[in-house]
């Protein structure tokens, strides 16, 4: 994305980025630790995302929302506010249903699902407000989108099931990110690298725009008259510049007055 918007050479910059990543992944120090943590986090995210897809399958509930399949309530309870996973598992065991990855009840919290879909709806409203043909204010679209999805999550139909599933899938994804971050300490390594970059940036800023800049400009001003005098002397064939002649004449006159 950066190469496409600035350098306009996407394949070349992709290769350069790949080489930089390979070099930093085997390097020692904070940058090497960060790149290795990023690589491990990517591997863990791919492997653990399968569990998320199995617990919160999106496509089957999307087909049910389009009336392509019969409805399967999510969560499997008459009242989503009172749903508890332990109770659902106990009911399946009492009914003699074997528990496996396909029919194991998922974790669900109505409050978390509502907050999640409200945020998603608000963000969707914000994105819609960025189109040039939309004249409604951003806050109105954000509030409308969040309120609509929150209301839809409370309905007892296939569209409500899909909305609740989207909310809990988002919550589970955030939990997965937090879990991976705690496993590889990604945020801690990122803070170390960020601190190093910030200190370097502050050093260069002080050097060229901060406390050292006025001193450098003052030294440059002091050098300019000396350079001009040297240039004048060289241009006059070894003669002293007019300022030097005037200064010596004034000094001789002052000495003569003091002797009288």
Most confident of 37-46, 99-108, 142-151, 234-243: 142-151
**Better-predicted residue by pLDDT, 240 or 22:** 22
Flag whether pLDDT at 40 surpasses 60.
Answer: yes
**Domain assignments of the chain as residue spans, ordered by start:** 71-184, 187-225
Q: 252: pLDDT confidence band, cut at 50, 70 and 90?
A: low
Note the pLDDT of residue 245. Answer: 44
Q: What is the mean pLDDT of residues 139-147?
A: 91
Q: Would you give the distance in Å from CA 4 to the centre of its chain? A: 19
Lowest mean pLDDT among 104-113, 117-126, 166-175, 210-219: 210-219
Give the chain's end-to-end CA distance (angstroms, integer). Answer: 85
Rounded distance between C-alpha atoms, residue 163 and residue 153, angstroms: 5
pLDDT tens figures, 113-139? 999 999 999 999 999 888 888 888 888
| Closest C-alpha among 164, 52, 173 to residue 110 | 164
What is the rounded average pLDDT for all residues in the chain? 77
Is the model's pLDDT at 210 over the cut of 50?
yes
Q: Look at residue 246 in the predicted model and tell me its pLDDT.
A: 44
Look up tokens 């120090």; give the residue: 29
Contact at 8 Å (CB) between 26 and 32?
yes
pLDDT number for residue 123: 92
pLDDT value of position 122: 92
Long-range contacts of 147-154 (CB under 8 A, 24+ apart): 147/118, 147/121, 148/121, 149/117, 149/118, 149/120, 149/121, 149/124, 150/114, 150/117, 150/118, 150/121, 152/117, 153/113, 153/114, 153/117, 154/114
Is the pLDDT at 250 greater than 70? The verdict is no
Q: Is the pLDDT of residue 21 over 90?
A: no
Q: Are 35 and 21 in contact (CB under 8 A)?
A: yes
69-97 per-position pLDDT tens digit? 888 888 888 888 888 887 777 777 777 66
Categorize the per-residue pLDDT at 151 as very low, low, confident or very high, splitting at 50, 70 and 90. very high
What pLDDT, on a 0 to 100 scale, did the predictor assign at position 46?
85
Lowest mean pLDDT across 54-68, 106-120, 235-249:
235-249
In this model, does residue 100 exceed pLDDT 70?
A: no
Mean pLDDT of 59-64: 88
The answer to pTM > 0.75 is no
């Amino acid at each position: 994305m950066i190469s496409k918007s600035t350098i306009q050479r996407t394949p070349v910059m992709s290769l350069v980025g790949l080489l930089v990543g390979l070099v930093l992944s085997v390097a020692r120090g904070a940058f090497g630790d960060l790149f290795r943590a990023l690589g491990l986090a990517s591997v863990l995210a791919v492997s653990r995302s399968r569990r998320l897809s199995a617990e919160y399958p999106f496509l089957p509930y999307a087909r049910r929302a389009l009336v392509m399949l019969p409805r399967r309530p999510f969560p499997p309870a008459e009242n989503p506010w009172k749903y508890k996973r332990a109770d659902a598992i106990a009911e399946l065991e009492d009914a003699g249903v074997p528990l496996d990855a396909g029919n194991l009840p998922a974790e669900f919290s109505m409050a978390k699902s509502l907050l999640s879909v409200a945020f998603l709806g608000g963000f969707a409203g914000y994105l819609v407000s960025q189109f040039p043909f939309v004249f409604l204010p951003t806050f109105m679209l954000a509030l409308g989108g969040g309120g609509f999805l929150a209301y839809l999550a409370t309905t007892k139909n296939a569209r409500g099931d899909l909305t609740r599933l989207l909310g809990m899938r988002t919550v589970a994804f955030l939990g997965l990110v937090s879990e991976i971050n705690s496993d590889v300490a990604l945020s801690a390594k990122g803070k170390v690298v960020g601190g190093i970059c910030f200190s370097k940036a502050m050093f260069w800023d002080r050097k060229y725009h901060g406390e050292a800049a006025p001193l450098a400009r003052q030294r440059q001003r002091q050098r300019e008259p000396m350079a001009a005098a040297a240039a004048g002397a060289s241009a006059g064939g070894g003669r002293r510049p007019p300022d030097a002649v005037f200064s010596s004449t004034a000094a001789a006159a002052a000495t003569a007055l003091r002797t009288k």
